[in-house]
Amino acid sequence: MKRSKHAMSDAGRKKSLEVIVDNSGKGDSGQKPSDAPDFSNPEFFENRELSYLKFNLRVLSQARNLRHPLLERLMFLLIFSSNLDEFFEIRVSGLKKQLDFGRQRPGADGKYPDEILKLVHEQVRGALTEQYRILNEELFPSMAKENIHFLPRNQWGPELIAWTKNYFHEEVWPIVSPLGLDPAHPFPRLVNKSLNFILSLEGKDAFGRDSGLAIVPAPRSLPRLIKIPKEVIPNGDNFIFLSSIIHAYVDEFFPGMTVTECHQFRVTRNSDLEMSNVEVEDVASALRGELHSRRFGAATRLEVGKECPSELTNFLLERFNLSRHELYPLEGPVNLRRLMALTNMLDRPDLLFPKFSPGTPKALELGNYIFAAVDKEDQLLLHPYQSFIPIIDWVRQAAKDPTVLSIKQTLYRTNESSELVEALADAARNGKEVTVVIELRARFDEEENINFASLLQEAGAVVVYGVMGYKTHAKMLLFVRRVGNKLKRYAHLGTGNYHRKNSLLYTDYSLLTAEPSLCDDVHKVFQQITGMGKKIHPNLLIHAPFNLRKSLLKMIDQETQAALAGKSARIIGKMNALTDPEVIRELYRASAAGVQIDLIIRGVCCLRPGIPQVSENIRVTSVIGRFLEHSRVYYFENNTYPVFCSSADWMERNLTNRIEVCFPILKKKLANRIVEELQMYLDDTAQSWELQSNGEFIELATAGGDQEPVQMRLLKQLDPLKLG
């Protein structure tokens, strides 16, 4: 695959990176342009929403990727649906709100919300057409060849008809409440993303009503996908959608009347919770009220079956206060994400990624005393290739260790039956001073976090909810332990959440350290969150919202000045998203000065590389694969400590409205290891995409290419014996 003419060659970048590790090389002198362009030019910026859609298209493309096992391809298709749901619930609803309140403001790209919404609807419509084409023309036929069948009503034989009718009467009929529409029965308040049917009826009911319309909500308590027993169809794995069963027997809800039309639909609503800082005395209580309202927020999208006639779609659009641009007719089920249950209903490991067991460094293996291992040297883990269990074990050991006096931890997301929460509760019951900062506003995990807070409080832990107006997104764990006559601190700092299940799917770094200055900084940040006082000044830690943006800009400028002075200058950034205009402008200045910049960005990127005199020294790639690239790593060649890991992306919200931490990797051996792993990403052509100056991504994989994907290489490198 031909790369951008502005991109540095692989060989050139690899040589440069080797120089970086030594921190002793000299680069070509960079000349400051005499007529430097306006780095704020809207043409130099990509729109955030449109960039996100391009990311989600890269996810969808994995459903076509024959390198992936068949059921994994289906999962990528369903992840696309899940991502799109959240996009409409949060991002589209935010744009609509700006229109509703007359607060249209252009972003750095110069586009106004009404223009963005128009482009969003156009692009989503095309993406959905492609999604259902992949499902109907590629995945369903491929699964049929594997003897996995999804049976539409026109393929039901007599035995299956009898079985589905019995299922309807035994499971569906007792639960469903059909809703006739008339003045006494106004249009119901339907829950966000729930599956429903709209019906046209002929005839009069027992009360003489003949409104002609009804709604049938599909029961949320029943599975959307139903497996047919072997005694009904012996061969293969056979499935029916709940929507097919309801559709087949829907007339039984309306005896004596004729159902002339029956079509499924689903409405997506605004799900962004809003809590004013004013007059909120108890954030947990306020949030409980907001959680209920989320289910019934303003509509942002209406999905219907493709055959639904215009008179019914117009009726629904009117009821949901939506325009025709917000209507999405679909060539198949309207609630695809519920298909995610399929993999647990099949025993087909041959159609899934090979299982693997994350590796564990010898010093952190089960039974070893983790405090002793960290006393000896800092420990660095890269999940999911290396296990998250040592962090859980560390808390468990601390809960029982009489020398441990105090534990402090931040929790943003954690798994539903969290071993960490239970270990913290045990520590509190054992008399440790346990303080937990729980972010109740972690989107879509709010209710679970409220429950964890109650559990910890009952055990005797001190629970705080961070700082109003600032989400606590930092990933920190601090132990205070008595060693001899002195107190000693230990810390875990990470780029990802304390979520064991996610640690098997997300790539993230974990640092376990006893370095006194770094641990003292972590202690200061905890004190700032839980207490009150003036701005703190950590020695090594960089934290938002106070000095992270300022420090990033300073380190970028440091590379710029080095390049202008004729020194080697290099920046590498790996993150989920880059949207902050001020950071982007500073990267443009660095590029124009000759700094070589590599950005590995999974999702949204508002920077445009390859623009002459602006960003021709910037290369942006995106890795999409089995694991969700989630680690945030920054590299600045000329900084005292070149390698940083962080909880923060380079986004306005992370740098301005969140409590984040960015920590240096102090040990050269560990810093060099991270640089080597970054180089593997930069060299990858098997699962990478490269961003062009026009804002489009080009897939680097070539037909017949034999390079092994970077994620597979890391799996083998970090634990080659446990893959199988």
Please report the beta strands in 458-499, taking only residues with DSSP state E, as ranges in sequence order.
462-464, 471-472, 476-483, 486-494
φ, ψ for residue 465 (rounded to 5)? -110, 30
Q: What percent of the chain has pLDDT over 90?
A: 73
Is residue 31 predicted with pLDDT exceeding 70? Answer: no
Residue 38 covered by a domain: no
Residue 613 covered by a domain: yes
The backbone region for 147, taken as left when phi is positive above 0, alpha when psi lies in -120 to 50, beta otherwise, is left
* CA distances in angstroms from 702 to 1, 459, 588, 684, 688, listed in the order given: 6, 56, 30, 12, 11
Q: Are residues 677 and 691 both part of a single domain?
A: yes
CATH number at residue 136: 3.30.1840.10
Residue 440 covered by a domain: yes
Cβ–Cβ < 8 Å for 685, 622: no
Query: In the chain, how many domains are there?
Result: 3
Q: Are residues 326 and 422 both part of a single domain?
A: no
At 617, list the tokens: 């020294």
Task: Look at residue 100 in the predicted model and tell me its pLDDT.
Answer: 80
Helix (H) / strand (E) element for 194: namely none
At 700, list the tokens: 């680097």
The residue range of the domain holding 271 is: 84-351
At 78, list the tokens: 């369903």
Is residue 597 predicted with pLDDT exceeding 90? Answer: yes
Burial class (CB in 10 A: 0-12, 13-18, 19+), 331: middle
Residue 544 pLDDT level (bands cut at 50, 70, 90):
very high
Is residue 695 predicted with pLDDT exceeding 80? Answer: yes
Residue 53 covered by a domain: no
Comparing 501 with 279, the larger pLDDT belongs to: 501
Residue 25 covered by a domain: yes
Q: Are residues 447 and 562 both part of a single domain?
A: no
Give the whole-angstrom CA distance, residue 118 versus residue 322. Answer: 14
Q: Are residues 557 and 593 both part of a single domain?
A: yes
Is residue 187 predicted with pLDDT exceeding 70? Answer: yes
Is residue 35 predicted with pLDDT exceeding 70? Answer: no
SS3 state at 707:
coil
Q: Are residues 523 and 560 both part of a single domain?
A: no
Residue 700 identity: L
Q: How many CA atoms lie within 13 A of 138 on its CB side?
A: 18
Domain endpoint, select from 292, 323, 351: 351
Task: Look at residue 51 in the predicted model and tell me its pLDDT.
Answer: 97
Active-site choice (121, 247, 263, 473): 473
Listed range (13-22, 428-437, 570-579) with the worst mean pLDDT: 13-22
Residue 35 covered by a domain: no
Give the whole-angstrom CA distance, residue 526 versus residue 477. Answer: 10
Rounded to an integer, the average pLDDT of 89-113 is 87
Is residue 10 predicted with pLDDT exceeding 70? Answer: no
Residue 1 pLDDT level (bands cut at 50, 70, 90):
very low
Residue with tokens 């729930």, as numbered in its chain: 194
End-to-end, the C-alpha distance of the chain in Å comes to: 31
| Peptide bond just before 384 cis, omega within 30 deg | yes
Task: Spell out the alpha helix ranges (H) of 490-535.
Answer: 516-530
Residue 43 covered by a domain: no
Is residue 508 predicted with pLDDT exceeding 60? Answer: yes
Task: Look at residue 535 in the predicted model and tell me its pLDDT.
Answer: 82
Q: Are residues 392 and 472 both part of a single domain?
A: yes
Is residue 258 predicted with pLDDT exceeding 50? Answer: yes
Contact residues for 682 (Cβ-Cβ < 8 A; gap 6+) = 10, 13, 14, 17, 572, 598, 600, 621
* Segment 45-86, tens digit of pLDDT: 999 999 999 999 999 999 999 999 999 999 999 999 999 999
CATH number at residue 492: 3.30.870.10
> Is 473 a catalytic site residue?
yes
Q: Which residues pair with 699 in a beta bridge?
A: 689
Rounded to an integer, the average pLDDT of 206-233 is 87
> For residue 293, how many other CB atoms are within 10 A of its CB?
13
Q: Are residues 634 and 527 both part of a single domain?
A: no
Q: Are residues 408 and 509 both part of a single domain?
A: yes
At 143, list the tokens: 């699964």
Q: Are residues 554 and 531 both part of a single domain?
A: no
At 661, list the tokens: 């931490």
Task: Look at residue 417 in the predicted model and tell me its pLDDT.
Answer: 59
Domain endpoint, select from 332, 351, 370: 351
Give the whole-angstrom CA distance, residue 240 versus residue 120. Answer: 33
Domain endpoint, select from 515, 539, 563: 539
Task: Look at residue 104 in the predicted model and tell me its pLDDT.
Answer: 76
* Segment 164-177, tens digit of pLDDT: 999 999 999 999 99
Rounded to an integer, the average pLDDT of 308-314 is 96
- 483-488 long-range CB contacts below 8 Å, 24 or more apart? 483/403, 487/405, 488/514
Task: Look at residue 722 in the predicted model and tell me its pLDDT.
Answer: 47
Q: Are residues 223 and 336 both part of a single domain?
A: yes
* Segment 613-622, tens digit of pLDDT: 999 999 999 9
Residue 78 covered by a domain: no
Provide the whole-model pTM: 0.89
How do beta strands 404-411 and 433-438 pair?
A: parallel
Rounded to an integer, the average pLDDT of 460-484 is 90
**Average model confidence (pLDDT) across the chain:** 88
Q: Are residues 602 and 481 both part of a single domain?
A: no
Cβ–Cβ < 8 Å for 446, 469: no
Contact residues for 346 (Cβ-Cβ < 8 A; gap 6+) = 71, 148, 237
Rounded to an integer, the average pLDDT of 639-643 is 97
Please report the beta strands in 343-467, taking only residues with DSSP state E, as ranges in sequence order.
379-383, 404-411, 433-438, 462-464
Give the whole-angstrom CA distance, residue 480 versus residue 488. Answer: 6
Burial class (CB in 10 A: 0-12, 13-18, 19+), 11: exposed
Q: Are residues 502 and 371 both part of a single domain?
A: yes
The backbone region for 321, taken as left when phi is positive above 0, alpha when psi lies in -120 to 50, beta otherwise, is left
* Segment 431-452, tens digit of pLDDT: 999 999 988 764 555 666 677 7
Task: Look at residue 3 in the predicted model and tell me its pLDDT.
Answer: 35
Residue 705 pLDDT level (bands cut at 50, 70, 90):
low
> For residue 286, how many other CB atoms are within 10 A of its CB?
16
Contact residues for 161 (Cβ-Cβ < 8 A; gap 6+) = none
